[in-house]
Protein backbone atom coordinates (compact mmCIF):
# COMPACT_ATOMS: atom_id res chain seq x y z
CA UNK A 1 0.00 0.00 0.00
CA UNK A 2 1.88 3.05 -1.25
CA UNK A 3 0.91 5.74 1.20
CA UNK A 4 0.76 9.46 0.53
CA UNK A 5 0.42 10.69 4.07
CA UNK A 6 -1.82 13.55 5.09
CA UNK A 7 -0.38 16.15 7.47
CA UNK A 8 -2.27 14.42 10.31
CA UNK A 9 -0.80 11.05 9.39
CA UNK A 10 2.69 12.56 9.14
CA UNK A 11 2.22 13.95 12.63
CA UNK A 12 1.11 10.52 13.82
CA UNK A 13 4.17 8.92 12.22
CA UNK A 14 6.42 11.40 14.01
CA UNK A 15 4.64 10.67 17.30
CA UNK A 16 5.21 6.94 16.79
CA UNK A 17 8.89 7.48 16.03
CA UNK A 18 9.36 9.63 19.10
CA UNK A 19 7.57 7.09 21.27
CA UNK A 20 9.65 4.19 19.97
CA UNK A 21 12.90 6.10 20.40
CA UNK A 22 12.00 7.00 23.99
CA UNK A 23 10.66 3.64 25.14
CA UNK A 24 12.59 0.90 23.38
CA UNK A 25 15.20 -0.51 25.71
CA UNK A 26 18.25 -2.33 24.35
CA UNK A 27 16.96 -5.75 25.38
CA UNK A 28 13.54 -5.20 23.80
CA UNK A 29 15.11 -3.84 20.62
CA UNK A 30 17.42 -6.83 20.38
CA UNK A 31 14.45 -9.20 20.74
CA UNK A 32 12.82 -7.54 17.75
CA UNK A 33 15.88 -7.34 15.54
CA UNK A 34 17.03 -10.93 16.11
CA UNK A 35 13.74 -12.81 15.86
CA UNK A 36 13.89 -16.17 14.11
CA UNK A 37 10.16 -16.63 13.47
CA UNK A 38 6.90 -14.70 13.64
CA UNK A 39 7.10 -14.92 17.44
CA UNK A 40 9.35 -12.78 19.61
CA UNK A 41 11.04 -13.76 22.84
CA UNK A 42 8.20 -14.17 25.33
CA UNK A 43 9.62 -12.11 28.20
CA UNK A 44 10.64 -9.24 25.92
CA UNK A 45 7.28 -9.28 24.18
CA UNK A 46 5.40 -9.08 27.49
CA UNK A 47 7.66 -6.26 28.67
CA UNK A 48 6.93 -4.39 25.46
CA UNK A 49 3.18 -5.03 25.81
CA UNK A 50 3.21 -3.40 29.24
CA UNK A 51 4.79 -0.28 27.74
CA UNK A 52 2.30 -0.19 24.88
CA UNK A 53 -0.61 -0.77 27.25
CA UNK A 54 0.43 2.17 29.40
CA UNK A 55 0.35 4.32 26.26
CA UNK A 56 -3.00 2.88 25.13
CA UNK A 57 -1.44 1.35 22.02
CA UNK A 58 -1.52 -2.38 22.82
CA UNK A 59 -4.58 -3.06 20.62
CA UNK A 60 -4.39 -0.88 17.47
CA UNK A 61 -7.61 -2.21 15.90
CA UNK A 62 -9.81 -2.39 19.00
CA UNK A 63 -12.40 0.32 19.63
CA UNK A 64 -11.40 2.89 22.22
CA UNK A 65 -14.34 2.03 24.49
CA UNK A 66 -12.71 -1.34 25.15
CA UNK A 67 -9.21 0.02 25.67
CA UNK A 68 -8.05 -0.10 22.06
CA UNK A 69 -6.25 2.59 20.10
CA UNK A 70 -9.03 2.85 17.52
CA UNK A 71 -6.54 3.59 14.75
CA UNK A 72 -7.37 3.83 11.07
CA UNK A 73 -5.96 1.34 8.57
CA UNK A 74 -3.36 3.92 7.54
CA UNK A 75 -2.30 4.51 11.14
CA UNK A 76 -1.95 0.77 11.75
CA UNK A 77 0.16 0.45 8.62
CA UNK A 78 2.35 3.34 9.77
CA UNK A 79 2.84 1.84 13.21
CA UNK A 80 3.61 -1.63 11.82
CA UNK A 81 6.32 -0.25 9.57
CA UNK A 82 7.83 2.07 12.17
CA UNK A 83 7.84 -0.72 14.75
CA UNK A 84 9.93 -2.98 12.54
CA UNK A 85 12.20 -0.12 11.48
CA UNK A 86 12.89 0.66 15.13
CA UNK A 87 13.54 -2.99 15.99
CA UNK A 88 10.58 -3.43 18.33
CA UNK A 89 9.14 -6.96 18.63
CA UNK A 90 5.53 -7.79 17.77
CA UNK A 91 3.06 -8.88 20.41
CA UNK A 92 1.72 -12.40 20.34
CA UNK A 93 -1.27 -12.41 17.96
CA UNK A 94 -3.21 -15.09 19.84
CA UNK A 95 -4.86 -12.78 22.34
CA UNK A 96 -5.24 -9.19 21.16
CA UNK A 97 -5.31 -9.90 17.42
CA UNK A 98 -7.36 -13.12 17.40
CA UNK A 99 -9.26 -14.03 20.58
CA UNK A 100 -9.88 -10.35 21.29
CA UNK A 101 -11.87 -9.58 18.11
CA UNK A 102 -13.88 -12.80 18.59
CA UNK A 103 -14.80 -11.81 22.15
CA UNK A 104 -15.62 -8.28 21.02
CA UNK A 105 -18.00 -9.68 18.38
CA UNK A 106 -19.54 -12.71 20.12
CA UNK A 107 -18.86 -12.22 23.81
CA UNK A 108 -21.43 -11.52 26.50
CA UNK A 109 -21.05 -8.30 28.50
CA UNK A 110 -19.65 -10.38 31.37
CA UNK A 111 -17.09 -12.06 29.11
CA UNK A 112 -15.97 -8.73 27.67
CA UNK A 113 -15.65 -7.21 31.13
CA UNK A 114 -13.58 -10.13 32.42
CA UNK A 115 -11.35 -11.08 29.49
CA UNK A 116 -10.62 -7.91 27.52
CA UNK A 117 -8.85 -5.84 30.23
CA UNK A 118 -6.73 -8.83 31.28
CA UNK A 119 -5.83 -9.51 27.65
CA UNK A 120 -4.67 -5.92 27.25
CA UNK A 121 -2.55 -5.74 30.39
CA UNK A 122 -0.95 -9.14 29.81
CA UNK A 123 -2.43 -10.89 32.84
CA UNK A 124 -3.93 -13.39 30.39
CA UNK A 125 -1.62 -14.84 27.73
CA UNK A 126 -3.48 -16.90 25.13
CA UNK A 127 -2.88 -19.93 22.95
CA UNK A 128 -5.06 -21.49 20.24
CA UNK A 129 -6.55 -24.97 20.60
CA UNK A 130 -7.55 -25.90 17.06
CA UNK A 131 -5.38 -28.57 15.41
CA UNK A 132 -5.43 -32.20 16.49
CA UNK A 133 -3.29 -35.15 15.35
CA UNK A 134 -6.00 -36.12 12.82
CA UNK A 135 -7.49 -32.67 12.26
CA UNK A 136 -5.20 -29.95 10.94
CA UNK A 137 -6.32 -28.06 7.86
CA UNK A 138 -9.41 -30.30 7.87
CA UNK A 139 -10.39 -28.67 11.12
CA UNK A 140 -13.99 -29.92 11.05
CA UNK A 141 -12.62 -33.44 11.65
CA UNK A 142 -11.68 -32.53 15.23
CA UNK A 143 -12.50 -35.14 17.89
CA UNK A 144 -11.80 -33.51 21.28
CA UNK A 145 -14.99 -34.12 23.27
CA UNK A 146 -16.82 -31.87 25.68
CA UNK A 147 -19.75 -33.48 27.51
CA UNK A 148 -22.05 -31.31 29.55
CA UNK A 149 -22.54 -32.03 33.24
CA UNK A 150 -24.69 -29.36 34.84
CA UNK A 151 -22.95 -26.01 34.60
CA UNK A 152 -19.70 -27.48 33.25
CA UNK A 153 -18.31 -29.22 30.21
CA UNK A 154 -15.99 -32.19 30.82
CA UNK A 155 -13.28 -32.07 28.16
CA UNK A 156 -11.19 -35.01 26.94
CA UNK A 157 -8.81 -35.19 24.00
CA UNK A 158 -5.70 -33.53 22.67
CA UNK A 159 -4.58 -30.50 20.68
CA UNK A 160 -1.33 -30.30 18.75
CA UNK A 161 0.98 -27.64 17.28
CA UNK A 162 -0.25 -25.33 20.03
CA UNK A 163 2.01 -22.29 19.95
CA UNK A 164 3.19 -21.05 23.37
CA UNK A 165 0.92 -23.39 25.33
CA UNK A 166 3.92 -23.79 27.65
CA UNK A 167 3.60 -20.15 28.76
CA UNK A 168 -0.11 -19.48 28.15
CA UNK A 169 -2.65 -19.35 30.96
CA UNK A 170 -5.73 -19.28 28.67
CA UNK A 171 -6.70 -21.14 25.50
CA UNK A 172 -9.47 -20.53 23.00
CA UNK A 173 -10.45 -23.99 21.89
CA UNK A 174 -12.77 -25.83 19.53
CA UNK A 175 -14.40 -28.94 20.99
CA UNK A 176 -17.04 -31.39 19.77
CA UNK A 177 -20.21 -31.24 21.85
CA UNK A 178 -22.58 -33.12 19.52
CA UNK A 179 -22.50 -34.80 16.12
CA UNK A 180 -24.60 -33.61 13.21
CA UNK A 181 -25.03 -34.54 9.56
CA UNK A 182 -22.16 -32.17 8.68
CA UNK A 183 -18.82 -32.24 10.52
CA UNK A 184 -18.95 -28.46 11.05
CA UNK A 185 -22.07 -28.91 13.18
CA UNK A 186 -21.84 -29.73 16.86
CA UNK A 187 -18.60 -27.82 17.48
CA UNK A 188 -18.41 -25.38 20.40
CA UNK A 189 -15.94 -22.55 21.01
CA UNK A 190 -14.62 -22.69 24.60
CA UNK A 191 -12.38 -20.37 26.62
CA UNK A 192 -10.27 -22.63 28.85
CA UNK A 193 -8.17 -21.73 31.88
CA UNK A 194 -4.86 -23.53 31.32
CA UNK A 195 -4.32 -23.91 35.09
CA UNK A 196 -7.37 -26.21 35.33
CA UNK A 197 -6.55 -29.69 36.69
CA UNK A 198 -6.24 -32.38 34.02
CA UNK A 199 -4.27 -30.31 31.46
CA UNK A 200 -0.80 -31.51 30.46
CA UNK A 201 1.52 -29.68 28.06
CA UNK A 202 4.30 -31.55 26.25
CA UNK A 203 6.93 -29.79 24.08
CA UNK A 204 7.39 -30.22 20.32
CA UNK A 205 10.93 -29.12 19.42
CA UNK A 206 11.30 -27.47 16.03
CA UNK A 207 14.05 -28.07 13.44
CA UNK A 208 15.75 -24.92 14.71
CA UNK A 209 15.94 -26.40 18.22
CA UNK A 210 13.32 -24.00 19.60
CA UNK A 211 10.48 -24.96 21.92
CA UNK A 212 7.51 -22.94 20.67
CA UNK A 213 5.03 -25.64 19.67
CA UNK A 214 3.34 -28.07 22.04
CA UNK A 215 0.87 -30.91 22.32
CA UNK A 216 -1.79 -30.39 24.98
CA UNK A 217 -3.69 -33.26 26.62
CA UNK A 218 -7.05 -32.90 28.38
CA UNK A 219 -8.14 -35.53 30.90
CA UNK A 220 -11.58 -34.82 32.40
CA UNK A 221 -10.93 -31.07 32.34
CA UNK A 222 -13.88 -29.17 33.80
CA UNK A 223 -14.78 -25.92 31.94
CA UNK A 224 -17.74 -23.73 32.94
CA UNK A 225 -20.56 -23.44 30.41
CA UNK A 226 -20.27 -19.69 31.00
CA UNK A 227 -16.97 -19.88 29.06
CA UNK A 228 -18.71 -20.76 25.80
CA UNK A 229 -18.15 -18.01 23.23
CA UNK A 230 -21.16 -17.68 20.96
CA UNK A 231 -23.72 -20.48 20.97
CA UNK A 232 -23.26 -24.12 22.02
CA UNK A 233 -22.81 -26.32 18.91
CA UNK A 234 -22.23 -23.23 16.74
CA UNK A 235 -18.53 -22.71 17.39
CA UNK A 236 -17.80 -23.06 13.68
CA UNK A 237 -19.35 -19.63 13.14
CA UNK A 238 -17.01 -18.11 15.73
CA UNK A 239 -14.01 -19.96 14.28
CA UNK A 240 -14.71 -18.73 10.74
CA UNK A 241 -14.98 -15.17 11.99
CA UNK A 242 -11.72 -15.47 13.92
CA UNK A 243 -9.90 -17.00 10.93
CA UNK A 244 -10.42 -13.75 9.04
CA UNK A 245 -8.14 -12.13 11.62
CA UNK A 246 -5.65 -15.00 11.66
CA UNK A 247 -5.33 -15.11 7.87
CA UNK A 248 -6.11 -11.55 6.91
CA UNK A 249 -6.26 -9.37 10.01
CA UNK A 250 -2.68 -8.15 9.93
CA UNK A 251 -0.34 -7.10 7.17
CA UNK A 252 2.71 -9.00 5.99
CA UNK A 253 4.02 -6.26 3.73
CA UNK A 254 5.35 -3.66 6.24
CA UNK A 255 7.66 -6.13 7.94
CA UNK A 256 8.75 -7.71 4.66
CA UNK A 257 9.54 -4.27 3.25
CA UNK A 258 11.81 -3.46 6.18
CA UNK A 259 13.49 -6.89 6.06
CA UNK A 260 14.05 -6.51 2.32
CA UNK A 261 15.66 -3.10 2.79
CA UNK A 262 17.95 -4.54 5.47
CA UNK A 263 18.96 -7.45 3.24
CA UNK A 264 19.69 -5.12 0.31
CA UNK A 265 21.86 -3.05 2.65
CA UNK A 266 23.73 -5.95 4.25
CA UNK A 267 24.00 -8.52 1.45
CA UNK A 268 26.97 -8.64 -0.93
CA UNK A 269 26.45 -6.90 -4.28
CA UNK A 270 26.07 -10.01 -6.42
CA UNK A 271 24.40 -9.48 -9.84
CA UNK A 272 22.42 -12.73 -9.66
CA UNK A 273 21.13 -11.81 -6.19
CA UNK A 274 20.19 -8.26 -7.25
CA UNK A 275 17.93 -9.62 -9.98
CA UNK A 276 16.17 -11.95 -7.52
CA UNK A 277 15.72 -9.13 -5.01
CA UNK A 278 14.15 -6.93 -7.69
CA UNK A 279 11.70 -9.69 -8.62
CA UNK A 280 10.83 -10.09 -4.95
CA UNK A 281 10.27 -6.36 -4.56
CA UNK A 282 7.79 -6.31 -7.45
CA UNK A 283 5.83 -9.18 -5.93
CA UNK A 284 5.86 -7.45 -2.57
CA UNK A 285 4.32 -4.32 -4.08
CA UNK A 286 1.42 -6.43 -5.35
CA UNK A 287 0.89 -7.90 -1.88
CA UNK A 288 1.08 -4.42 -0.34
CA UNK A 289 -1.73 -3.16 -2.58
CA UNK A 290 -3.90 -6.21 -1.85
CA UNK A 291 -3.38 -5.85 1.89
CA UNK A 292 -4.48 -2.24 1.78
CA UNK A 293 -7.84 -3.27 0.30
CA UNK A 294 -8.34 -6.23 2.65
CA UNK A 295 -7.42 -4.41 5.86
CA UNK A 296 -9.71 -1.56 4.90
CA UNK A 297 -12.57 -4.05 4.56
CA UNK A 298 -11.74 -5.74 7.88
CA UNK A 299 -11.62 -2.40 9.67
CA UNK A 300 -15.13 -1.62 8.39
CA UNK A 301 -16.46 -4.97 9.59
CA UNK A 302 -17.02 -6.32 6.08
CA UNK A 303 -16.68 -10.01 5.25
CA UNK A 304 -13.48 -10.33 3.22
CA UNK A 305 -14.31 -13.85 2.08
CA UNK A 306 -11.57 -15.53 0.07
CA UNK A 307 -9.40 -12.39 0.08
CA UNK A 308 -8.07 -13.48 3.48
CA UNK A 309 -7.00 -16.81 1.96
CA UNK A 310 -5.30 -15.01 -0.92
CA UNK A 311 -3.47 -12.72 1.50
CA UNK A 312 -2.31 -15.66 3.59
CA UNK A 313 -0.98 -17.51 0.54
CA UNK A 314 0.91 -14.56 -0.90
CA UNK A 315 2.20 -13.34 2.46
CA UNK A 316 3.60 -16.66 3.64
CA UNK A 317 5.08 -17.52 0.24
CA UNK A 318 6.90 -14.18 0.21
CA UNK A 319 8.07 -14.72 3.79
CA UNK A 320 9.60 -18.01 2.77
CA UNK A 321 11.12 -16.57 -0.40
CA UNK A 322 12.83 -13.81 1.57
CA UNK A 323 14.40 -16.35 3.92
CA UNK A 324 15.71 -18.24 0.88
CA UNK A 325 17.31 -15.06 -0.47
CA UNK A 326 18.81 -14.25 2.94
CA UNK A 327 20.26 -17.75 3.19
CA UNK A 328 21.74 -17.44 -0.28
CA UNK A 329 23.22 -14.04 0.59
CA UNK A 330 24.68 -15.36 3.85
CA UNK A 331 26.88 -17.80 1.93
CA UNK A 332 28.94 -20.40 3.83
CA UNK A 333 28.41 -18.56 7.13
CA UNK A 334 24.69 -19.25 6.77
CA UNK A 335 25.30 -22.97 7.19
CA UNK A 336 26.37 -22.74 10.84
CA UNK A 337 23.90 -23.39 13.66
CA UNK A 338 24.23 -20.41 16.00
CA UNK A 339 21.06 -20.10 18.12
CA UNK A 340 22.87 -18.11 20.79
CA UNK A 341 23.07 -15.14 18.44
CA UNK A 342 19.30 -15.02 17.99
CA UNK A 343 16.34 -14.00 20.12
CA UNK A 344 14.02 -16.95 19.38
CA UNK A 345 10.35 -17.25 20.20
CA UNK A 346 11.01 -19.95 22.79
CA UNK A 347 13.84 -21.67 24.64
CA UNK A 348 16.39 -23.62 22.61
CA UNK A 349 16.52 -27.00 24.30
CA UNK A 350 19.81 -28.84 24.78
CA UNK A 351 21.78 -25.73 23.89
CA UNK A 352 24.48 -25.02 26.48
CA UNK A 353 25.45 -21.61 25.15
CA UNK A 354 24.33 -18.23 26.40
CA UNK A 355 22.16 -15.85 24.45
CA UNK A 356 24.17 -12.89 23.10
CA UNK A 357 27.10 -15.16 22.26
CA UNK A 358 29.52 -14.06 19.55
CA UNK A 359 28.54 -14.75 15.93
CA UNK A 360 30.66 -16.23 13.20
CA UNK A 361 30.04 -13.56 10.60
CA UNK A 362 27.39 -10.87 10.99
CA UNK A 363 24.29 -11.48 13.14
CA UNK A 364 22.02 -11.48 10.08
CA UNK A 365 24.07 -14.33 8.61
CA UNK A 366 23.78 -16.35 11.82
CA UNK A 367 20.02 -15.80 11.97
CA UNK A 368 19.39 -16.59 8.29
CA UNK A 369 19.26 -20.42 8.61
CA UNK A 370 17.18 -20.25 11.79
CA UNK A 371 14.62 -18.01 10.17
CA UNK A 372 14.63 -20.18 7.05
CA UNK A 373 13.77 -23.29 9.10
CA UNK A 374 11.09 -21.52 11.15
CA UNK A 375 9.23 -19.99 8.23
CA UNK A 376 8.84 -23.32 6.43
CA UNK A 377 5.80 -23.59 8.69
CA UNK A 378 4.23 -20.40 7.34
CA UNK A 379 2.49 -22.18 4.47
CA UNK A 380 1.11 -24.79 6.91
CA UNK A 381 -0.26 -22.90 9.91
CA UNK A 382 -3.63 -21.11 9.82
CA UNK A 383 -4.76 -23.62 7.19
CA UNK A 384 -2.25 -24.93 4.66
CA UNK A 385 -1.81 -22.91 1.48
CA UNK A 386 -3.08 -25.90 -0.50
CA UNK A 387 -6.33 -25.74 1.48
CA UNK A 388 -6.52 -21.97 0.90
CA UNK A 389 -6.15 -22.49 -2.86
CA UNK A 390 -8.97 -25.04 -2.71
CA UNK A 391 -11.18 -22.52 -0.90
CA UNK A 392 -10.52 -19.92 -3.60
CA UNK A 393 -11.12 -22.42 -6.40
CA UNK A 394 -14.43 -23.52 -4.91
CA UNK A 395 -15.79 -20.12 -3.88
CA UNK A 396 -14.52 -17.87 -6.67
CA UNK A 397 -13.88 -20.16 -9.63
CA UNK A 398 -16.79 -22.53 -8.86
CA UNK A 399 -14.57 -25.55 -9.46
Residues annotated catalytic, as ranges: 246
Distance between CA atoms of residues 102 and 94, nearest Å: 11
Distance between CA atoms of residues 273 and 327, nearest Å: 11
- Could you tell me whether strands 170-176 and 126-129 are parallel, antiparallel, or unpaired per DSSP bridges? parallel
Residue 89, classified by CB atoms within 10 Å of its CB into exposed (0-12), middle (13-18) or buried (19+), is buried
| Torsion, CA 312, CA 377, CA 250, CA 79, rounded to 10 | -140
Distance between CA atoms of residues 309 and 394, nearest Å: 12
Q: Answer yes or no: are the C-beta atoms of 366 and 343 closer than 8 Å.
A: no
Amino acid sequence: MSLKLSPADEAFRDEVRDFLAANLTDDIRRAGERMTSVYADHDASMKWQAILHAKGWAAPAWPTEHGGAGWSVVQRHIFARERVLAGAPPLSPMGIAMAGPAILHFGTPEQKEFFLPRMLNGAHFWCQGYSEPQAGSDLAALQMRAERQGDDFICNGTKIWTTHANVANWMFCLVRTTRGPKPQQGITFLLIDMTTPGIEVRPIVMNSGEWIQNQVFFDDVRVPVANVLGEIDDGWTVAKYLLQFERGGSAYAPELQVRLEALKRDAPALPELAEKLTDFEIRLEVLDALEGEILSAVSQGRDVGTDASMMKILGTELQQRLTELALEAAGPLGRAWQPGVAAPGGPVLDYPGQINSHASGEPWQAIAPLRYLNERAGSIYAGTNEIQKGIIAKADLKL
